[in-house]
Amino acid sequence: MLVLVINCGSSSVKYNLIETEGETEVCSGIVERIGAVTSIVKHQPNNESVRKESKVILNHSEALQEIMNFLLSPGNHIISSPDDIKAVGHRVVHGGEMFKDSVLIDDVVKDAIEQAFDLAPLHNPPNLKGIEAAEERLPDIPHVAVFDTAFHHSLPPYAYLYGIPNRLYRRHKIRKYGFHGTSHYYVSRQYYKLSQKSKNQTSVITCHLGNGASIAAIKGGESVDTSMGFTPLSGLVMGTRSGDLDPSILFYIMEKEELSLNALHAMLNRHSGLLGLSGYAADMRDLISEAKNGDRRCQQAIDVFCYNIKKYIGTYMAVMNGCDAIIFTAGIGENSPQIRKKSVEGMENLGIVIDDERNEKAVNRKIEKISSDSSVVDILVIPTNEELVIAIDAAKIATASNQSPWV
Ligand code: ADP
């Protein structure tokens, strides 16, 4: 089934056209800087080279029109009619407490996504805009919402409740939700397939290390804990986000630096993490190269990043009474042998031993085992594919609207 996957940000629409039976991507692309003087449009049909153009694209609806025009253009040989697309899968960041599965979108679902605006003010409003724009362009086919939070719905209350007055949970739904659910789900499923272990008897720790980064503990196929929380700000140190910190620091710096709430929000989300620590860059490649040139702060940023990963791995081994596998994925996890090594080194007594040669070679976007033969715990690199999860969910729900693919 041909499924269009849409991922909308505040000024961008990313898309992938996926043939779900063969799990192949037919075309992908992005419209960026929507609403700016000129927008940037990139399309990549059939794994050919990227076609890039500047255009004026004023809103998400025009971005969807641009995407449909490209897909339908006879010279591109992608689709000949909008009817060729059988479903649209939408990435929605926050499903709140309501959605534990992907759902067919109707007015009630759209209302619920809107109710979660407060929980994800940067993500859910553009996600809903994208849904409405796509419905306008493709009104006659099922639209399905796939939530970043859904996979973590299985967290037990002792893992998702914070140590604050319980009424705040009851009144405002303040709890851990977790994110990157489609990625943690995908790589854990790839591991079950590869190892031929039954998911019920398997515990894995999945490390999604991109600009945003999170770790999940997955036991018996279900997420039992994860590092991101109420929002995607907590947990690991990230590109520009702080990760975990002592909440008292917030009051202290607000007073000392005379920061407003908005300035504090910007500082923690956009000026912290690797960027804040290094004072140089948020991008791991830049940090690695500057650290090699002797920049002490860049090296410290890398050290903090890896130390936090190691701490979470240890914590989740305790939570699950050990684990069968540690999986690295996303930009840093898939491409950086150095970060992978540093994140698990010195854990031999926990049965975790990386093989340096295998680790160095695992940079080709393929599934690779990088643990040594003596390691009790498997360590793997498994490239993520969140779009494929969204497409397959959308296809399943479009064909049997009450069947949950998440069991
Ligand atoms: P997101 O999807 O969250 O924007 P990605 O999964 O694309 O992020 O990951 C981006 C991160 O991956 C950046 O920090 C980038 O530097 C890092 N990365 C990509 N390639 C490499 C590499 N070869 N070595 C180290 N880090 C890399």
Kindly state whether residues 99 and 216 are assigned to the same domain. no
Would residue 393 show up in a list of annotated catalytic residues for this protein? no
Residues 201 and 323 in one domain: yes
The verdict on residue 189 lying in a domain is no
Burial label, 76 (beta-carbon count in 10 A; 0-12, 13-18, 19+): middle
Residue 308 included in any domain:
yes
Q: In the chain, what are the helix, strand and coil shares in percent, each to the nearest 5?
A: 40, 20, 40
* pLDDT digit string, tens, across residues 281-294: 999 999 999 999 99
Residues 221 and 351 in one domain: yes
Judge if the beta carbon of residue 210 lies within 6 A of ligand 1. yes
Mutate to test the pocket of ligand 1, among 32, 278, 335 (most ligand atoms within 8 A of CB): 335
Instruction: Quote the domain boundaries for residue 320.
Output: 196-386
Ligand 1 neighbourhood includes 335 CB (under 6 angstroms)? yes
- Residue 404 located in a structural domain: no
The answer to whether the CB of 91 falls within 8 A of the CB of 143 is: no
By alpha-carbon position, which residue is closest to atom 13 of ligand 1?
283
Q: Over the stretch 8-55, which tens digit does the pLDDT of each residue have?
A: 998 999 999 999 999 999 999 999 999 999 999 999 998 789 999 999
pLDDT for the residue 276? 98
Q: pLDDT tens digit string along 110-168?
A: 999 999 998 888 889 999 999 999 999 999 999 999 999 999 999 999 999 999 999 99
At 244-267, the pLDDT tens digits run 999 999 999 999 999 999 999 999
Q: Whose C-alpha lies nearest to ligand 1, atom 7?
A: 331
Q: Out of 14, 278, 284, give the residue to mutate to test ligand 1, the one with the largest number of ligand atoms within 8 Å of its CB.
A: 284
Residue type at position 354: I
| Same domain membership, residue 209 and residue 141 | no
Examine the domain organization and report whether 361 and 246 are in the same domain: yes
Q: Is 222 domain-assigned?
A: yes
Spell out the residues 6+ positions from residue 321 whose beta carbon is closer than 8 angstroms to its own.
203
| Ligand 1 close to Cβ of residue 211 (< 6 A) | yes
Same domain, 15 and 80: yes
Q: b/e map of 17-49 (b: 16 or more CB within 10 Å)? A: bbebeeeebbbbbbbbebeeeebbbebbbeeee
Q: Please state the atom number of ligand 1 nearest to the C-alpha of residue 384.
A: 6
Q: What is the pLDDT of residue 405?
A: 42
Residues 66 and 215 in one domain: no
**For position 377, which CATH number holds?**
3.30.420.40
User: How many domains is the chain built from?
Assistant: 2
The active-site residue, picked from 84, 118, 148, 244, is 148
Of 87, 116, 147, the last residue of a domain is 147
How would residue 222 be classed by pLDDT, with cut points 50, 70 and 90? very high
